Copies of this chain bind each other. A is one copy, B any other.
Amino acid sequence: MPRQKDVIVGMDLGGTSLRALVVDGRNRILGEAKTPTKVSSKPHKLIAQVADVVKDAVISAGLDHQDISAVSIGVAGAVDSAHGIVHEAGNLRWREVPLGSELQKLLGIPVLVDNDVNVGTVGEHALGAGRGAQNVVGIFVGTGIGGGIILNGKLYEGCRGAAGEVGHIVLQVGGPRCSCGRRGCAQALASRSAMERDVRAAIKSGKKSLVLKIMNEHHRKRMTSGIIVRALKQNDPVMTKVMKRAQHFLGILTANVVNMLDPECIVIGGGIAERLGEAFVRPIRESAIKYYLYKRDTDRVRIVPGSLGDNAGTLGAVVLARQRLGNL
């Protein structure tokens, strides 16, 4: 039996869905709840929805809210984790929202808040593909590219809590425009959005591709990871070429990280990595090694796909909460 007071609710607060896992002191999942995110101009409405999902998850675990030590949430955005404030979360249309204190009022349980990719990296380090390494960098490729850094076994957040933004490392001065407004960021060259932009441009210029047909068949307006994988399986020439180019850039990004931090492990996460695993990571690794300054002992820097998939963030949030609250 788990000691009930070790039980923590880990939560993923994304623009698409809210997902909560109830996790015991041995990191076993006791319960779960999930619902589509209702983005609203009033943050308190979404915070009330978050509280409901937490309650549902606790009920699904057959527990009571008194059994829960803490709720720990990963949010896609700029977060002040010391004060539980979300400075900015574009997907949620939030600015300066005191999520931690507001949710704590509703639930009567300590609430911790951190960046979604930071908790994802903590998850992969503690329980996933980065286990056993002291220094790990997570690179999460999705709509954007996010990152997290573990140094000496602990999450490294930097002096403003802004560390790990590998997606905004400039790889190509004057390159394509990034959603952040600058040009040539890794995110503007190798994220899912960048790939979609390149696929659409190729189709517009007359190249033949199945991507739009597959999107229609699956009622998708965006080129999701699922669509990408289907197009690659059908050997779509445009998708294949665009993916190869993105992997080339992701390799250079990875090499920049290695030349800078020489970590023991780089975990490539996100939807595409989850679906394709080693087939996604192998070309990234091959491109990266070409750009290493030190060619010695390259095996000591492992470049691996994440192994926790969707659970990296929620489990990571739980692990981080345990570190922050001390051994409960």
Contacts and interface: CB of A to CB of B under 8 A. Distances in A.
Interface of A: 78, 87, 134-135, 147, 149, 151-152, 156-166, 168-175, 180, 182, 184, 249, 252, 255-264, 290-291, 293-294, 296-297, 300-301
Given A157-B262, A165-B294, 12 more contacts: A156-B261, A160-B296, A160-B297, A161-B262, A162-B294, A163-B261, A165-B259, A169-B256, A170-B252, A172-B173, A173-B252, A182-B291
Contacts of A261: 149, 156, 158, 163, 260
B260 A160 contact: no
Nearest to A173: B172
- Copies assembled: 2
B301 A169 contact: no
Given A170-B291, A171-B171, A160 B301 contact: yes
Given A151-B151, A172-B172, A164 B260 contact: yes
A102 to B, nearest CB: 21
Contacts of A87: 296
A170 B171 contact: yes
B156 A151 contact: yes
Contacts of A151: 151-152, 156
A291 B183 CA distance: 9
Contacts of A175: 173
Contact of A78 (B159, B263, B294): B294
Contact of A300 (B78, B160, B301): B160
Contacts of A169: 169, 256, 259-260
A291 B158 CA distance: 17
Contacts of A161: 262
Contact of A260 (B134, B252, B260, B296): B260
Given A172-B172, A291-B182, A159 B256 contact: no
A79 to B, nearest CB: 11
A180 B293 CA distance: 7
A263 B293 CA distance: 23
B170 A255 contact: yes
A26 to B, nearest CB: 29
23 contacts: A134-B159, A147-B260, A149-B260, A151-B152, A152-B152, A158-B263, A159-B264, A160-B301, A162-B293, A163-B261, A163-B262, A164-B260, A165-B294, A166-B259, A166-B260, A169-B256, A169-B259, A169-B260, A171-B171, A171-B172, A172-B174, A173-B249, A260-B261
